[in-house]
Structures are given as C-alpha cells and as structure tokens.
Amino acid sequence: MTDTATLSLAKQLLAIESVTPKDAGCMEVMGARLKALGFKLEIMQFGEVTNLWARRGETSPVLCFAGHTDVVPTGPIESWQFPPFEPTEHNGMLYGRGAADMKGSIACWLVALEEFIATNPNHEGSIALLITSDEEGPAKDGTVRVIETLESRGEKIDWCIVGEPSSTHKVGDIIKNGRRGSLNAKVSIHGVQGHVAYPHLVTNPIHMLAPALAELTSTKWDEGNDYFPPTSFQVSNFNAGTGATNVVAGTADLLWNFRFSTQVSDQQLINWTEDILHRHQVKFSIDWNTSGQPFLTEPGALVEACQKSILANTGYATELSTSGGTSDGRFIAPTGAQVVELGPRNNTIHQLNECVSINDLESLTGIYHGVLVELLGD
C-alpha cells in the first residue's frame, strides 16, 4: 500500500539523525516544500542552533506553527525494537526517535498546509512556521532568539499552535492552553564539619535545614485557579556527607523546584522561601533560575477553532489543561499571542521505542487542516 502524504513525510524526517542541537537537514526538507507553497524562508543561525522562520502573507492575523526538529538522544540503540533512525511500521504504529516528539506533528502540519493552500490560495492573513533545533537542549539559541528578532522588527504572531505531544489517551483529547512556570534553585547549607562524638564542635547542616525544609514542604503557596493546580515545591537532589559514619558534613547541597501558577510570581516565591530559611536561622547560599514563566490562553478564537476541528475530525470534545512541563510556548505567549499546544499522544516520548499511531497522524493532519480553514479560510 502506498504511504499517505503525511506518513511519507514523517518517515523522511524520522530518518534524519537530528539529535539536539543538530537539525541535520530537516529544515532543508521542509523548506523545499514551503518554498513551493509561496513561503518566504529565513534561516536564523545562533551558535550551533539552526532556526527557520517561514511566512506566507504580509497581513495580520498571523497563525504560526511552532515546533522543533531536534530530538533527545536515543539511549542504548541495542535496546530498541527497531533502529531509532530507521522509521518502521509495526502493528499500526510508526517507530522512530522523534515520531511523537515532534517530527510527526511537523509532517501533519506541512501536509495540512499543502491541502489548505491548494483550496485557499488567497487565504486571510498570514501563515508562519517557527522551527528550531534547540528545544530539547538548553533552549537558549532557539525559539527565544527568534522571538527576540521578530519583536525587534515589530513582527507579531497572533495565534500559535505548538505541535508538542499534548494528547493522552487519544489524539486531540487534550489541548494545553497554558503551562505552569518553573523556578529552580541550587542551594548550599553551610555548617561546620567535625566528629559525630563531639556535637558541641560541629554545626550539622542537615539538622539546621530540617525544620525549614519541613515548613517548605508543607506550605500552601496558593490555591491555584480554574486552569492551574496550586503551586508545588519539590526537592529533586539532596547531597551531604563524606561517606563516613563518624563525620558530620560541613555542607549540604540541594536542588529544588517550584512549578507555579499565574496566582504568584517567581519573585514572591523567592522572597517567601528565603524568609523561611532566615526565620529558621539557616546559613545558606542560593542560586535561583526561572526557566519559564506561567502562561494562559483563555478561550477565544484559537482555542475555539481547535475545539471545533477536533470535534469535527474525531467526534469527541477536547479538554483544556495546563499540566506537564514547560515548552517553547513560554517564549511566545509573553508577546501577546494566543498559544496552545496540540499534538499526538505523549505516552512514548523520550522513551526507548518511541512511536506514534499512523491513524493518529492522519487524524492530526485533519485537525490542523480544520483549524486553518476556521481561522484563515478564504
């Protein structure tokens, strides 16, 4: 049986070994098809990172698809059922690194574009793509740099679909219409090392921290809201000690993280946390890093277009959610754009034997096409 247009393109992209931060030629494949559709292409190179900004049309509103061609490392190749960069069909699934995260989504969007432009050559507004090879890595020279460039020249995105794998049980069952913020801390607690048998000569940093940590883990930082759960605090690493049973550590080192809602700011969390540590007389040094601010797209034109298309293509209603980690949507939303994440199921992303349902790829192509028609159809 001949592959569909979506499946054929997905296989072509999956065969390219584009481990972050390498694009390795994916954007050349995309660019050739986009150029044939009348898109103007602009490659933005920052360091090792390749970014593509492609646009068709000069007027607003601008509907943008944001995605990434880089993939996470494969892990032990011998543990894969099929070679990770040899796309393989098996039992209705397409296997390969990046199948779900997110070359499958890119293939769906490109084919939906081709079908849409064929029947809507004079569509309303503009269509754009913002594609990076730096989403799975540090995310310093990717989408954030492209957005800075667009903002500097007054080029605005009105609606943005991020093709991240947002679905859970079936394609389109969940739209991410926001994400929690992420605030990280690298913490050192300063004590005095010594022999456990002479407690009057030591200051145990673990004991010093314990009451404050108990308060940090039990504090209710906010109530959340209709779209966000309450802010959470988690310690991910805790290291102290020399390995000997008779030596009190001189320092204790921790990593912790807040996933926070739009009810609080990162600065409020920083202030409250340090107040707790000071109140418990903890001697500490701390390095804070906000890797993403929370954002929310309330129901409006973009959300409603996605909901309508999902219902028309699948027969079921979708759910709005802000759960999960961060995405490049965090760089786009602050510009004022409406942003949603809509892509395939996420049950195998970053795993061995990553795969996506071939039927889901066809459904997602139809969903994307429906959104294009709803928002920009002529």
Kindly state the DSSP code that residue 231 receives in the 8-state scheme: P
In angstroms, the CA 18 to CA 22 distance is 5
Is residue 114 part of the annotated active site? The answer reads: no
Is residue 148 part of the annotated active site? The answer reads: no
In angstroms, the CA 376 to CA 31 distance is 22
250 in Cβ contact with 192 (< 8 Å): yes
Helix, strand, coil percentages in the chain from 3-state DSSP, rounded to 5:
35, 30, 40
Return the ∠ at Cα 44 (arms to 40 and 50), rounded to 5°: 110
Cβ contacts of 321 within 8 Å, gap of 6 or more: 166, 174, 175, 176, 177
Report phi then psi at 179, rounded to 5: -145, 150
Query: Count of residues for the chain?
Result: 378
Query: Which listed residue (23, 101, 115, 135) is catalytic?
Result: 135
Burial class (CB in 10 A: 0-12, 13-18, 19+), 56: middle
Query: Which listed residue (23, 70, 266, 362) is catalytic?
Result: 70
203 in Cβ contact with 192 (< 8 Å): yes
Token pair 């989408």 in the structure block, residue: 143
Say how many C-beta atoms besides its own lie within 10 A of residue 282's C-beta. 20
19 in Cβ contact with 101 (< 8 Å): no
Cβ contacts of 287 within 8 Å, gap of 6 or more: 185, 186, 187
Annotated catalytic sites, by residue? 70, 135
